[in-house]
Homo-oligomer: A and B are copies of this chain.
Amino acid sequence: MPPRRATTPQSVTLRDVAKSAGVHLSTASRALDPTKRHLIADTVASKIAGIADKLGYRRDPIAASLRTRRSKLVGVIVPDIANPVFSPIIAAITETLSAAGYSTIVADGGQDRRRQSALVGELIARRVDGLVLATVRRDDPILKECLREGLPVVLVNRADESDSVSSVVTDDRAGMRLAVEHLFELGHRAIGHVAGPAHISTGYLRRQGFEEAMAARGLTLPADAVVEATAYEREAGEAAAAELLKRNPKLTAIAAANDLLALGVYRAIAAAGLSCPRDISVVGHNDMPLADMVEPPLTTIRIGPREMGHDAARLMIARIQEPEAAVKKVVLSPSLVVRASTARHES
């Protein structure tokens, strides 16, 4: 059997429905649009609905888009689709949006600024009703571009500096404070930090949280106690931790800005001939999938990615329906998940 041509599924159009119901095209259109249905007499409307159903009519979203300049399509841009942290966020966004009748189109922004910009252009051309960004830097040109276009935008996981756009993030400072408190209570005093990139809000804020928590406990922060990783990747974490250990041989614990970095820290510890948690305790951040399966199972900070995704989607829907609404910033509370990478420090 040869494959059939993709052309002419000769779908039934609104005109067919209208003709079959003996009404005008426009009447059928209104009867089938929930927000306009009240304009049509009940008997007529339900008759049309019945016929549409019988004929198997499906509204053509393309034609509708052309006319309305809306698409029921929301773009989601992530920095790296292969990064497990984002999977549950994306899944949650998709769920909530689709329940509200929106489809999502997920794109990998990648590193390249130009590519990202092209991507946004592409999505705008496709008339997305809004954009969820998980990529932004603290001061982000792409974001500005979107706002200039008047496109509804919501930020997720990472926020920017300005107050011009809605976002949902976790309280990154608080999260890192939880981590430090946990280490402190286990008896650690010489604590180091592998920070995330400072141009990303999570890296920046978690570092602040670290410094605050140390200060709150009256721990003087050795000048060398923080090393910033160049990216949220394992290799970067390993390099940073190696540097950290070299500078501070007395460290008994390390708080990493993210789980992948923490895994790099594991490596550096092993490379230095030490053992986690016996010699050095490690705490990560995000509780990404599989964080419990590494060795040792990672003590980390849970950020509730699904809730984050749901909230982001809800914010997006609200913004699309009410573009003038006030900017809303949702901040979720992180929580500590204790596993086996942290241990009591006997001194």
From B6, B105, B164, contact of A106 by CB (8 A): B105
Which chain A residues numbered 141 to 173 have a C-beta less than 8 Å away from chain B? 147, 149-152, 164
A16-24, A40-48, A64-72: which lies at the B interface? A64-72
Interface string of A248-274 (1 = CB under 8 A from B): 000000000000000100100000000
**Given A87-B82, A294-B293, CB of A62 within 8 Å of CB of B58:** no
Please give 15 more A-B residue pairs, beta carbons under 8 A apart, in addition to A3-B323, A60-B125: A3-B152, A3-B324, A9-B124, A59-B125, A61-B125, A62-B66, A81-B90, A82-B289, A87-B87, A103-B122, A103-B123, A104-B106, A104-B107, A290-B294, A295-B296
**Given A1-B164, A87-B87, CB of A263 within 8 Å of CB of B58:** no
CB distance from A205 to the nearest CB of B (A): 25
A54 at the interface (CB under 8 A from B): no
**What B residues does A181 contact at CB under 8 A?**
none
In the complex, what residue of chain B is closest to A264 when comparing beta carbons? Answer: B293
CB distance from A121 to the nearest CB of B (A): 7
A50 at the interface (CB under 8 A from B): no
Which chain A residues numbered 85 to 130 have a C-beta less than 8 Å away from chain B? 87-88, 90-91, 94-95, 103-108, 121-127, 129
**What B residues does A69 contact at CB under 8 A?**
7-8
From B60, B123, B149, B290, contact of A84 by CB (8 A): B290
User: How distant is the Cα of A152 from the Cα of B7 in the complex, in angstroms?
Assistant: 11
A222 at the interface (CB under 8 A from B): no
User: How distant is the Cα of A245 from the Cα of B296 in the complex, in angstroms?
Assistant: 25
**Given A3-B147, A82-B91, CB of A62 within 8 Å of CB of B293:** no
A218 at the interface (CB under 8 A from B): no
**What B residues does A91 contact at CB under 8 A?**
81-82, 108
> Range of interface residues on chain A?
35 or more
In the complex, what residue of chain B is closest to A129 when comparing beta carbons? Answer: B6
Q: Is A103 in contact with B105, judged by CB distance below 8 angstroms? A: yes
User: How distant is the Cα of A121 from the Cα of B59 in the complex, in angstroms?
Assistant: 11
Q: Is B66 in contact with A63, judged by CB distance below 8 angstroms? A: yes
In the complex, what residue of chain B is closest to A266 when comparing beta carbons? Answer: B293
User: How distant is the Cα of A62 from the Cα of B151 in the complex, in angstroms?
Assistant: 17
**Given A82-B88, A87-B84, A122-B103, CB of A150 within 8 Å of CB of B294:** no
Q: Is A58 in contact with B294, judged by CB distance below 8 angstroms? A: no
Q: Is B81 in contact with A108, judged by CB distance below 8 angstroms? A: no
**Given A58-B121, A293-B263, CB of A126 within 8 Å of CB of B103:** yes
A2 at the interface (CB under 8 A from B): yes
User: How distant is the Cα of A6 from the Cα of B164 in the complex, in angstroms?
Assistant: 15
Which chain A residues numbered 303 to 325 have a C-beta less than 8 Å away from chain B? 320, 323-324
**Given A6-B323, A104-B105, A150-B4, CB of A126 within 8 Å of CB of B84:** no
User: How distant is the Cα of A5 from the Cα of B290 in the complex, in angstroms?
Assistant: 42
Which chain A residues numbered 232 to 288 have a C-beta less than 8 Å away from chain B? 234, 263, 266
User: How distant is the Cα of A151 from the Cα of B11 in the complex, in angstroms?
Assistant: 14
28 pairs of residues in contact across A and B, judged by CB atoms under 8 Å: A1-B164, A4-B150, A6-B150, A6-B320, A6-B323, A7-B150, A9-B124, A60-B125, A61-B125, A62-B62, A62-B65, A62-B127, A81-B90, A82-B90, A82-B289, A87-B87, A91-B108, A94-B108, A103-B107, A103-B126, A104-B107, A105-B105, A234-B293, A266-B293, A290-B290, A293-B294, A294-B294, A295-B296
